[in-house]
Chain A
Amino acid sequence: MTVATVFKAVGLLAILAFPALGFSDYVLHIAISILLWGYIYTGWSVMGRFGLVSLGHGAFMGIGAYVVTMLWNHAGITPWIGIPVAVIVSMAVGFMIGFPCFRFRITGHYFALVTLALSEVVRLLIVALRDYTGGSLGVTPVSVISADNPSSFLAMQFSDKVSWFYIVVAVWVIGLLIWRAVDRSMIRYAMEAVSQEEDAAASVGVHVTRTKLIVTMISAAMTAVGGAIYGQYQLYINPETTSGIAISLQIVFAAIAGGMFVQLGPTVGAVITLLLTETLRQTVGHDVHGLDVMIYGAMLVLFIIYMPRGVVGRLIDAFERRSETPGTPGQARPQPGE
C-alpha cells in the first residue's frame, strides 16, 4: 500500500463520512453541487486536455437532462432506462459532430466554434420544441414524491439530500476512474502525439480520427450523465441552465481554472467557482448581482495568462520544482502552449 493509496482511501472515507457530521441541507447542497459539477468538468477535460477544446458540452448536458425528463414526463419511462438512452443519443451526436470535424481536420478555433454552434442548436431546439419541453420556461420532471412518500427509486427522485450526496459521490468517483483509465491507456499517448503533430502521429500508425472520436464520445457520454443527474437532483431544468453558450463556457473555464491535466483539477475548479459564488452571495448579499461573474471572469483571464495549467497543475509544478535539485530548470512538463 503506497502513500498515495492511503491518501485516497482516507480522502474518500472523509467524503463518505461527510453527511454524518450533521451539516445543514444548505452545506450538503453545496457539496453535492461541487461533486456534480466536478464530475461534469472532469468529463470535459477527458477531451479538453488533448487540445480538443469543445465549447459544445452544453449540448451534451442538455441532451442528458432533456432526454431523461422527456422520456419520464411523456412516456413514463424511468430515468434508469432514460439515462442509458441519453448516453447513446449524446454519443451519437458526439459522433455526428466529431467524425466530420476530425475527418476534415477542423481543429483549434474552428473546432471550438463548430461545437459552439452545436450547443446553440441544442438550446434553440429545446426552446423551439416548447410544446414538449416547456421552452425557455423550463420543465419539471413529473414528481411522484410527497411528504408521505419521500423517495422513489423508480423515478430517481429523492427528497433527502443525503441520498443524493451518495449518488453524486458514486458518479464522481466513476468519473475520476474513467479519467484515470483514459490517462493510463494507449489513447493518451496517441492523443498526445496527435495534439503535437497530427501527420507525424498518423505516420507512426495512430488512427487519428478514431482516437479523437473515442475520446469525444466518452466525454459526451459523461457529460450527458451529468446533465441527467442534474435534472433529477434539481427537479427543474431549463434550456439556459443546461445548454447553450453560457453553460458551455462555464464548463470549459472551470476545468481550466482547476487544471485539466490533473485528475482532481476539474473538481478543484468546481470548488473554486462554487465557493466563490456562494461566499459572495453570503457576504455581499442577494442584491449585488453580477459581482461573482465579474470576479470569475477576471480570475479566468489571470489564470489563462499566468497559470494555464490551472491551480492544481501549478501546485504540482511548484512542488516538483522544489523537490528537484536547485539550478535545473523547473519546466517538468510541456506547457499547453508549446
Chain B
Amino acid sequence: MDFPLTDPFFWETVIQGLLFGGVLALLSLGLNIIFGVIDVVWICYAELIMIGMYTIYFLYSDYGVPLPLAMGGGVLVVAVLGAALHHFIIRPILHTEPINQLLVTGGVLFFLQGFATLAFSVEFRNLGVSFGSIEAGDMYIPTTRLLAFVVSLVAVVGLWLFLKRTYLGTAIRAISQDRDVMPLMGVSPRKIYLVTSALGGGLAGLGACLLVLLYDIHPAIGLTFGPITFMVCVMGGLGNMIGGFIAAFIFAEFIALGGFYAEIEWGYVIAFAFFIVMMFIRPQGILGTKN
C-alpha cells in the first residue's frame, strides 16, 4: 500500500466519510431536539425515517408526484406522525419513569416495522434517481452524497436560526432549560412539546429525503440506521446539537476508514467500541460540561 497521504483512494475515503457524516448529522438532529426539549429518546426514530422514505417512494413512483413535492409530502407525513406519537403515546406516560418512554417508543418501533412489512412486503425498493458523480482529480464523489451533506449543513444552520431568532424557538429553548418555571411565564409546555415533536418528526422526514436517494428502502432499514443515530446523539451529549454534529463526523470517519483498511463491519465495530469507551471518559458528551 502507498503512503496513505498520497493515495487518492485514501482521500476519497476521507471525503466519503465526511459526506456520510453530514447525513448522520442530519439524522441525529431531530432526535437531539426531542431529547433536549422533552427528555425522551425515540427508539423508533429510524422507523419514522423509514415511513418517510416509503411515503416519498410511493408518491414518486406510484402516483407520479414530482420528486420535490413527494419529498415535501414525506416530511409532512413524518412531522404529523411525530406529533401523533407524542400526543397519543408519550404524553400519557410523561410523568412516569423516563425509561418507560424509551420503551414505549420501542413498541412503536415494532409496530411500524411490522406495518411496513405487512403493507409494503420485505422487498427492497429503489427510487432509481441518480444525479451522477463529480470528478475531482482522481476522485469520484457522488452528487447525491454531496447534496445530502449540503442539505444537512443548511438544516443545522436553519434549525439554529429558528431556535435563536424566533419566539417559538426561544420558548423551546427556555422549556429545555427549565421545565418547571416556564409554565409560570405563560408558555404552555404541552403546546411546545407538540410543536417540538412535529419539528423532530419533520427533521426525520428530511433525513428520509436524503436516505431515499442513497439507499434501498426495506422495512428493516431502521435497524441499520437506528443504533448509529443514537450513538451519535449520545456521544455528542444527548440534546447537545453541536456536539452531535461533531460526533457524526467522528463516527462517519471511523466507519469510512474502517471500511478502507478492513471491512465496513470493522468500521462499525470500532466506532461502537469507541462510543462505549467515550461514554466512560466523557459520559456527558464530547462537548459536555460536568454538572
User: Which residues of A are at the interface with B, using a C-beta cutoff of 8 A?
Assistant: 51, 53, 97, 100-101, 104-106, 108-110, 112-114, 116-118, 120-121, 124-125, 127-128, 244-246, 249, 252-253, 256, 288-301, 303-305, 308, 335-338
Contacts and interface: CB of A to CB of B under 8 A. Distances in A.
Contacts of B231: 113, 117
Per CB-CB distance, the 9 closest pairs between chain A and chain B, nearest first, are A290-B117, A337-B96, A294-B114, A297-B111, A293-B114, A297-B110, A300-B107, A290-B118, A128-B265
A53 B89 contact: no
A124 B219 contact: no
Interface string B107-142: 111111111111101100000000000000000000
B238 to A, nearest CB: 7
Given A118-B276, A249-B109, A297-B109, A108 B99 contact: yes
B113 A290 contact: yes
Contacts of B107: 253, 297-301, 303-304
Contacts of A245: 223, 226-227
Contacts, number: 156
B113 A124 contact: no
A338 B98 CA distance: 11
Main secondary structure of the interface of A (DSSP, over half): helix
Interface stretch (B207-215, B241-249, B267-275): B267-275
B64 interface: no
B255 to A, nearest CB: 11
A108 B89 contact: no
Nearest to B95: A337
A109 B99 contact: yes
B106 A249 contact: yes
Contacts of B238: 109-110
Given A108-B99, A297-B108, A337-B96, A113 B269 contact: no
B7 interface: no
Interface string B252-269: 000000000011011011
B102 A112 contact: yes
Given A121-B276, A125-B269, A246-B223, A296 B114 contact: yes
Given A109-B102, A125-B269, A252-B103, A301 B114 contact: no
Contact of B106 (A121, A252, A291): A252
